[in-house]
């Protein structure tokens, strides 16, 4: 269990994060819990594996349902399908006690995290270059899976 100061820091981080940063925090959490679940299977610590896999599945579900279909429905369907594939793999890994299946999910989550971070950086960079000198910097906001930028 995290210390009180760690929980306080996390609470502060979440409360002050933009929606885009919150999605990044969810991906970080999913990756961390997937590693915990995998390690639990390797060590035959099934309580640890259950906890990690369960938490990871909850986050993956949240990421899947948070996709905004209004922006690009076809892309959103593919992204949602990817998250549902990960959910299924986590479930199978838990039932079959198979750390290799969790490793596949970890790799997908890490790729998704890197892609999301690059998209955030790109939007920030594009907006900074488009702003006339002396104007305030743009902020990045995430609306359920898509980026929108407001000055």
The 10s digit of each residue's pLDDT in 91-143 is 999 999 999 999 999 999 999 999 999 999 999 998 888 866 555 544 444 44
Length of the chain: 151
Q: Is the pTM of this model over 0.95?
A: no
Handedness of CA 88, 94, 96, 98 (dihedral sign): positive
Q: Is 104 exposed, middle or buried (0-12, 13-18, 19+ CB in 10 A)?
A: middle
How much of the chain exceeds pLDDT 70, in percent?
82
Beta strands in 2-145 (DSSP E): 139-143
Q: 81 with 65: CB under 8 angstroms?
A: no
For the chain, what is the mean pLDDT? 86
Find the mean pLDDT for residues 55-62.
98
Domains of the chain: 8-113 (1.20.120.340)
Q: 123 with 131: CB under 8 angstroms?
A: no
């Amino acid at each position: 269990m995290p210390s009180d100061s760690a929980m306080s820091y996390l609470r502060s981080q979440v409360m002050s994060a933009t929606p885009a940063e919150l999605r990044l925090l969810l991906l970080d959490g999913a990756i961390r819990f997937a590693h915990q679940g995998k390690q639990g299977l390797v060590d035959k610590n099934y309580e640890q594996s259950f906890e990690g896999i369960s938490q990871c599945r909850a986050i993956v579900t949240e990421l899947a349902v948070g996709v905004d279909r209004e922006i690009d429905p076809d892309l959103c369907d593919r992204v949602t399908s990817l998250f549902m594939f990960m959910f299924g793999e986590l479930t199978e890994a838990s039932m079959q006690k198979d750390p290799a299946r969790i490793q596949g999910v970890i790799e997908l989550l890490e790729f998704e995290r890197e892609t999301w971070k690059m998209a955030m950086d790109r939007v920030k960079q594009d907006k900074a270059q488009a702003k006339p000198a002396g104007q305030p910097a743009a902020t990045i906001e995430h609306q359920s899976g898509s980026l929108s930028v407001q000055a």
